[in-house]
Amino acid sequence: SAVISQKPSRDICQRGTSLTIQCQVDSQVTMMFWYRQQPGQSLTLIATANQGSEATYESGFVIDKFPISRPNLTFSTLTVSNMSPEDSSIYLCSVGTGLSVGYEQYFGPGTRLTVT
């Protein structure tokens, strides 16, 4: 298993600003993913963070709004840009044990974002 930490655990931000969320894993992993979960709702995959190349985004998510970095095999960041109240959500990173999201994943504790 992998131990995943996220920073910050929560934040309250103003409309129009940006927030960068960090995800740190205690071991090297190939696959890292970012999800969004609105309170009381299910999870939606935002993108796959690829080490050394651009992230792969799911339908409905774009790089300008959610830029992702993956500088090495243990770390990734997700930025939520030009925030609006609709971006209020829990953002989770996960790591995969195989080639894609289809394989078992370990999730971080999440970052609770509130946009005012």
Report d(CA 76, CA 111) in Å as an integer.
Answer: 14
Whichever of 50 and 81 has its CB closer to other proteins, that residue is 50
Residue with tokens 């195989």: 98
Does the protein bind other proteins through residue 2 (CB under 8 A)?
A: no
Q: Which of 18, 56 has the CB closer to other proteins?
A: 56
Among 45, 75, 81, 88, binds other proteins (CB under 8 A): 45
Q: What does the chain come to in residues?
A: 116
Q: How far apart are CA 72 and CA 14, in angstroms?
A: 30
Residues that bind other proteins (CB under 8 A): 4, 41-45, 92, 94, 98-110
